[in-house]
Amino acid sequence: MPSARLSVVVTRRLPDVVENRMRDLFDVTLRETDAPMTREELVEAMKTADVLVPTITDKIDAGLVGQAGENLKLIANYGAGVDHIDVHTARQRGILVSNTPGVLTDDTADMTMALILSVTRRIPEGLAVMQSESWAGWSPTALLGGRIAGRRLGILGMGRIGQAVARRAAVFGMQIHYHNRHRLREEIEQDLGATYWESLDQMVARMDVISVNCPHTPSTFHLMNARRLKLMKPEAVIVNTSRGEVIDENALTRMLRSGEISGAGLDVYEQENTANPRLRELKNVVLLPHMGSATMEGRVEMGEKVLLNIKTFDDGHRPPDQVVPSML
């Protein structure tokens, strides 16, 4: 007799190809709408499922984990970041946590470069002129931006995505600098043409562009706080495609409004689904709705990672992308 199929609950709509494969492999409950689950719905899902497939919009805190049913043995996150999941409490309850690392590296690095160019070359302002039909023709002094070739790029977090950003930026002629929890091996630094800064303060004070590419952890919360933002050169810009909590958004907003920082490109925010309303008023800020991973290829590959993690677990083995507290 074949064993009973795993009961899997998915909290958001996923690409059709991923959902169809879920149906083939598991006893899956899919989300009929793309609205996030309420807390009550999450509690019910965790009480009944063998496997929960959440996304970054689902806050799986200690209170929720404490209400999980005895059958819940795996939280297979659809996404690389797991700061929305209490991994420590899950581990104490005997619940494994997995994620989907690596598949969004190129997509997020592409978006980082898009934001750098959008801010420095004032692309949204140009779009607004064309959409308002107010363009009076070419002018030698209209919408003057800045050339990025030769500028110093300071990358905060030199993991997969940070390194991918470095490779792209080098092609544009930017000088690559970085700060990381651990220094890269010498051969990697040489390959990237990257200069390591042990002191984040010293790096920030000397860069033309800061790119935030580190994860959100307790140690990186407001890593770019008001004091550190004030170290930036007035003509410098900052972009963030990582996690909004790494930057003190209120302090950044004040400094952008006062001209202490030249510009910013943000794809993520401290409050996941909204940006500081005052940021929307500023012409020197480019705001995107968390689009860094928004390619069909990337989202399907995320789903394939989730499927592999669940299937490997179902076969009695450790999921290949298991997250443990020591990794955080």
Give the pair of three-digit tokens for residue 65.
């984990």
Is 270 an annotated catalytic residue? Answer: no
How many CA atoms lie within 13 Å of 142's alpha carbon, on the beta-carbon side?
A: 10
Catalytic residue among 121, 189, 290, 304: 290
CA distance 65 to 51: 13
Q: What is the DSSP letter of 14?
A: -
CA distance 280 to 93: 43
Nearest to 118 by CA among 209, 226, 233: 209
Catalytic residue among 44, 125, 272, 304: 272
SS3 call for 232: coil
Is 181 an annotated catalytic residue? Answer: no
Strand-pairing partners, residue 51, are 8, 74
How would you class 137 by CB atoms within 10 Å of its CB: exposed for 0-12, middle for 13-18, buried for 19 or more?
exposed
The length of the chain in residues reads 328
Is 290 an annotated catalytic residue? Answer: yes
In this structure, which amino acid lies at residue 175? Q
3-state secondary structure 280-294: HHCCCEEECCCCCCC
CA distance 23 to 8: 10
Catalytic residue among 243, 270, 299, 301: 243
Strand-pairing partners, residue 247, are 224
CB contact set of 247 (below 8 Å; sequence gap of 6+)? 212, 222, 223, 224, 229, 238, 240, 270
Contact (CB, 8 A) for 156 and 212: yes
Q: Which residues are catalytic?
A: 243, 272, 290
